Amino acid sequence: MTSTPLTVASRARLLATAAVAVHLVIAIALFVVALNRASIVVTVTLTHPAGGPGAFAAVDLASASGVVLLVSVAARAVSLLLEARGDSIEGHRLVRMLELSQIAGITMFLIARLNGITEAGTLIVLYAVAAASVGLLWVQGRGSADHRAAAWPYSLAAALAIVPWGVVALYQVVGIVISAPPAPIVRVLTIVILLLAAAMWLVERRWQLGVQSYARTDALHTVLTIANGVALLVLVVGLARPSALF
């Protein structure tokens, strides 16, 4: 007896369900680390002209990373609901780009802080730029049926997206020069997460140009978000308990 091949819709639904499960497992692992007080807590400062810099807030790295994964869980659950209702690809894409936008923003906030950027105002701006650039990518994808002719808007959005990474690189270089670099695992995973972000943009552009189907694009975005979550988990564990990685 031969099995019936999965349809494109069935494969997409199966992948979305698996993504929810994987993201949820990683999120639970991160929150367990936080609850066991095995995570690290970093301080965010706020500089006021009258009083100078001072502690503004404390961010638990494991909890914040867990929030990144919960964003994906919520977005994937909404995607499954939209699919069950038979909504169009545009509605599905809106949810997906909102997910990628918030993942990019929150991840950038954490990476920037771990690379030595402590000022609340700067961190908020980096979060906003990273998140907004993905939003511009979505707007650019809707703005013209001829995506080859829309290369300039795409390039502008990509140029905006690289700015926060340039700021992070500047702090890394300065840290190395003054002999106060971030931990090796931070430097390595900063590069890994940057490459994952770049891959997301490349995948999106290939779909816009008609090089690959939307189903494949969505699947690749799913894989990249899972990889981003795993990278954050490794970062949390590596900073809190380096011996756990070896």
1 located within any domain: no
CA angle, residues 194, 99, 141, in degrees to nearest 5: 85
**CATH code assigned at 55:** 1.20.1070.10
Q: What pLDDT is recorded for position 246?
A: 44
Say if 3 falls within a structural domain.
no
pTM (2 d.p.) = 0.88
Q: Report if residue 171 sits inside a domain.
A: yes
pLDDT along the chain (246 residues), means of 10: 53 81 92 83 84 80 93 88 74 86 95 94 95 84 60 82 95 90 92 95 86 86 92 90 54
Look at residue 106 and tell me if it is in a domain.
yes
Return the pLDDT at 142: 63
Q: Is 2 among the domain residues?
A: no
Name residue, tokens 């890994």: 192
Domain range for 194 is: 8-245
Q: Is residue 17 part of a domain?
A: yes
Q: What is the pLDDT of residue 87?
A: 66
Q: Residue 114: exposed, middle, or buried by beta-carbon count in 10 A (0-12, 13-18, 19+)?
A: buried
The number of distinct structural domains making up the chain is: 1
CA-wise closest residue to 104 among 161, 40, 185, 163: 161
**Chain position carrying tokens 């990019």:** 104
CB 75 within 8 A of CB 99: yes
- Chain length of the chain: 246
Q: What is the pLDDT of residue 1?
A: 40
